Structure 1
Amino acid sequence: MTEQQAPGFFGNYGGSFLPPHLVEPMREVAIAYEEARQDSTFLEDYQALLSRYVGRPSLLYRAERLSEHVGGARIYMKREDLNHTGSHKINHCLGEALLAKRMGKTKLIAETGAGQHGVALATAAALLGLECEIHMGAIDVAKQHPNVVRMNMLGAKVVAVEEGGASLKEAVDSAFATFAARPEEYLFAIGSVVGPHPYPSIVRDFQSVVGREARAQFLEAEGRLPDAAVACVGGGSNAMGLFSGFLEDQSVQLYGVEPGGEGLDTARHAATMSLGTPGTLHGMATRVLQTADGEPAPVHSIASGLDYPGVGPQHVYLNETGRAHYVAVTDEQTLEAFQTLTRCEGILPALESSHAVAYGCLLARELGPEAAIIVNLSGRGDKDVDYVAEVLATR
């Protein structure tokens, strides 16, 4: 379930589709990463940060009251929300920061939607003595103000992007443009399994710790593998992290949960896998939500980290080969799941993660009490509580 022989391709998807002036900088990143991943010292330094700084392994938690509430399968949650900085994003940000140091770069630059990637990258930069610049859509700057404050306190420069839809896609465009002007200074530390080769592989590899841990922890808890593994998908980094632990286990069904927004029969969603078509976006061949003239379409999700009109190319490959299944849940279902998990288990999930919780509950009912599943709780919801309170006050 990995690449074909062509570098950076997953079946027909992935690759590197770049303007000429970015070809050499991306080639340098690919070479540096290939050398780093075979360097035992680099890998030891990375593993040491995961255990001593992030606090890995993260907990695999049996959500007994939630399981009882839904009346179905036993639901386990991979608690990435307990990581330092509050999400799975720190897993790849530390790896990217170490790679930047190895390459002699002085600055990290990236996009962020919900702010979790931005906070994690700013944290990694502070820890390793690098400068950091984060581009964020103006809508998300207002919506995720606590994370903007955290990034500023960590020393990062936050650039509010006003163009277009002023959300995640525009933040990626803006960060790429700045990187393209000074690639000798910056490492582009992309925040998901998207973009040109080698980024989908880099981020997947650093996130694979989630799947390795979850598989071993579940075997210890249940003495068998789970019936299913569920994770939210925007670009798809947390899902690829979880899925990577089970790709060869055909008995484990893999479910990626996309943002259905206000409904797939409206234009207000970001369900790329469900309704997108083949296209090229941000240097990769993938599925894209597109307008009639082939431009990326405006998208919507209640979760800022999921409102992206594309998806990681390996997810498209897993879908086309039938190894993973992709579904969508609405904003309403997401809000309900946010409240249900909070009240049943005392856990505030990120709105992104609440998509996975919502579908996990539906799947648990469908599979019945003899089954057991893992839901990846990719981040905590502290950043979302004010926004959720505002939305609920209007109901």
Structure 2
Amino acid sequence: MEKGYFGEFGGSFIPPELQEAMDHLAQQFEEAIQDPAFLNEYRRYLAEYVGRENPITFAENLTKQVGGAKIYLKREDLNHTGSHKINNAIGQILLANRMGAKRVIAETGAGQHGVATATACAMFGIECVIYMGEEDIRRQALNVFRMELLGAKVVPVSKGQGRLKDAVDEALNDLVANYENTYYLLGSAVGPHPFPSIVKYFQSVISEESKRQMLEREGRLPNAVIACVGGGSNAIGAFAHYLNDESVDLIGVEPTEAASLTKGVPAVIHGFKCYTLLDENGEPDATYSIAAGLDYPGVGPEHSYLKDAERATYFPVTGQEALEAFKTLSKTEGIIPALESSHAVAFAIKHAATLSPDDIVLVNLSGRGDKDVEQVFEMLQNE
């Protein structure tokens, strides 16, 4: 497979001067992950700062309520800053530091990646600028305050819909103008090569741990691994170490309102090729999900490839179903999930009910719902 491509997907469709910067980044990344000192430092920060490894939790009450397969949760919500995003932020900040970057930029939708990036930049004393759509700033005010508290400058993006896609546009514009001194700490498994590979590498710790934990706990692998998909970083991390285990179904769950893999077509967006939702003019379509972190008209190139290769399957879940799952997991297990993760929980509930009690479903609980409580409160008040 050509470097940077997953089948026909991926690649790098960017201006020549930016391509030079991406080639340099790819070389630096490859050298870093061959360097034992770099890897030891990354592992140390995961253990001492992020709090890994996090456990798998048997959702016993939910399993009883649903009937069918045992439901396990991989607890990325227990990480420092509250989601899987910190795994990648720590890895990339170490890379940025190694490369001598004076300034870090990032995009964010739900704000969890922004918070993780701001956290990592604070720790290393690097200037941090976060691009965030105005609509997402309104929905995720608490995370905006967190980012600013951590010393980041949050730049509102009013173009387009004022959502995640528009924030990525502005971050890429910044990078084109400032690539000589700026590191773009991309949060999802999207963008031009080498970003999808970098993010997958740092997020694959999720499945590296869960595979071992499932074998220790149950003596076998799960029948299915289920994760929500927006750009697809938590899902590719949750799938990575199971890709060669054909007995394990890999299931990605998209919001019905932004279902790139279910309803999209192959197209180029943000410098790479993937399944993309297009409007009648062939432009990336407007999307809306109750979960700001899933509100993206494209998806990671490896997910696009896994769909075509039939190694993973992808299903849509409505915002209402996710909201019900948000309430159900809170009440049955005392765990409030992020609205993004609630999409995966919603599908897992349906899927587990079709399986036998001997089967096992593992859900990647990508984040906790603290950031969403106020939004959900308002939504329930208006019902």
Interval of TM-score (by shorter of Structure 1 and Structure 2): over 0.9
- Per the alignment, residue 185 of structure 1 pairs with 181
Query: Structure 1 runs of 4+ off > 6 angstroms?
Result: none
Question: Which whole-Å deviations, capped at 9, do the CAs of 1:254-310 have from their partners, x for residues lacking one?
Answer: 0000001xxxxxxxx100000000100011011110012210000010100000000
2:322 alignment partner, SS class: helix
Q: CA deviation at 1:342?
A: 0.3
Residue 109 of structure 1: CA displacement? 0.5
- Structure 1 residues 58-97: aligned runs within 5 Å: 58-97=54-93
Does residue 291 of structure 2 align to residue 303 of structure 1? yes
How do 1:249-264 and structure 2 match up within 5 A?
Answer: 249-260=245-256
CA distance in 1, matches of 2:156, 2:117: 17
Q: Which amino acid aligns with 2:313?
A: H
- Corresponding letter in the other structure for 2:77: D
Residue 99 (structure 1) aligned with residue 87 (structure 2): no
CA distance in 2, matches of 1:282, 1:241: 21
Question: What amino acid maps onto 1:46 in structure 2?
Answer: Y
Q: Shift of the alpha carbon at 1:153? A: 0.3
**Number of equivalenced pairs:** 383
1:204 and 1:233 mapped to 2: Cα distance? 13
**Is residue 224 from structure 1 mapped to residue 220 from structure 2 by the alignment?**
yes
Q: 2:361 aligns with which of 345, 348, 373?
A: 373
The match for 2:172 is 176
The residue aligned with 1:148 is: 144
Q: Per-residue deviation at 1:394?
A: 1.1
- Residue aligning to 1:163: 159
Partner in structure 1 of residue 131 of structure 2: 135
Shift of 1:195: 0.1
Q: Spell out the pairing of 1:260-279 with structure 2 (5 A cutoff).
A: 260=256, 269-279=257-267
Q: Do 1:60 and 1:79's aligned partners in 2 also have CA atoms closer than 8 Å?
A: yes
User: Aligned with 1:245: secondary structure?
Assistant: helix
TM-score normalised by length of structure 2: 0.99
Instruction: Choose the corresponding residue for 1:42, options 34, 38, 41.
Output: 38
1:286 aligns with 2:282: no
Deviation, structure 1 residue 23: 1.1
Q: TM-score, normalised by structure 1?
A: 0.96
> C-alpha root-mean-square deviation of aligned residues, in Å?
0.6
Per the TM alignment, residue 368 of structure 1 is displaced from its structure 2 partner at its CA by 2.5
Asked if 1:13 corresponds to 2:9, the answer is yes
**How far has the Cα of 1:329 moved from its partner?**
0.3
For structure 1, list consecutive stretches of 5 or more residues without a partner in the other structure: 261-268
**Which blocks of at least 5 consecutive residues in structure 2 are unaligned?**
none
Shift of 1:203: 0.1
Distance in structure 2 (CA, Å) of the matches to 1:292 and 1:37: 43
Cα shift at 1:370: 1.7
Distance in 1, matches of 2:333 and 2:156, equals 36
Moved more, 360-369 or 189-198: 360-369
Match of 1:338 in 2: 326
CA contact (8 A) 1:214 1:245 kept: no
SS of residue in 1 equivalent to 2:113:
helix
* Letter paired with 1:355: H
Specify the code of the residue in structure 1 equivalent to 2:32. A
Q: Secondary structure at the match of 2:154?
A: strand
1:229-240 correspondence to structure 2 within 5 Å: 229-240=225-236
The aligned amino acid for 2:382 is T
- 1:382 aligned to 351, 359, 370, which one? 370
Distance 1:87 1:81 in 2: 5
Tell me which of 113, 118, 124 is aligned to 2:114: 118
